Amino acid sequence: SAREAGKIRFIGITEMFGEDRQHTMLQAALADDLWDVIMVGYNLLNQTARRTVLPVAFKQNVGVQIMFAVRKALGNPENLKPFVDALIDSGEIEASEIDRGNPLGFALAHGTLPDVAYRLCRDEPGVHVVLSGTGNANHLQQNLDTFERGALPSATMGQLHHLFRNVVSTTGQSLD
């Protein structure tokens, strides 16, 4: 095989998270138990991978790279509000459980919205790499600083997991 010949060291697969927001392809691929590494969409808003993909990858000792950790909705609190409104309207978030005016006020006591979003992804069991992309040197430094920070309080993590537990319709990139 190419692996035995030293031509291939690791075999990986990535999903099209924008089109496959519930990770159907990765769930099927992981059932084959062939992969060394996967790249999966996961973020504060859409945490479906935490239930469907990450436990299987962990059990199979598959490396996990997270993409979509911070997208438009998670860039700043004002961008988040229309996403939260849409998710309440779709029934994916319980209106009684969230403050529409300041949806993540409880979490923002522990950092900026991108900081909280990156740390939630980084500290998910089974995650090995969280991708961060920017063309802005200041944002890059902020991201590096974030990855050096400690974990969010467990109560905050629990509340974030609970609030967004039913979200499947968005990646955080756009409202469509």
Domains observed in the chain: 12-163 (3.20.20.100)
Residues 6 or more apart whose CB falls under 8 angstroms from that of 118 comprise 69, 70, 130, 132, 143, 146, 147
Q: In degrees rounded to 5, what are phi and psi of residue 115?
A: -60, -50
Q: What integer pLDDT is reported at residue 133 of this predicted model?
A: 85
The model's pTM is 0.94
Q: Give the least confident one: 81-85, 127-131, 138-142.
A: 138-142
Q: What integer pLDDT is reported at residue 90 of this predicted model?
A: 97
Average pLDDT of the chain, as a whole number: 96
What's the rounded Cα separation, in Å, for the pair 105 and 111?
Answer: 10
The neighbour count for residue 103, using CB atoms within 10 Å, is 21
Mean pLDDT of 69-79: 92
Confidence grade of residue 1 (pLDDT, cut at 50, 70, 90): confident
Residue type, 56: V
CA-nearest of 80, 55, 78, 81 to 70 is 80
Residue type, 31: A
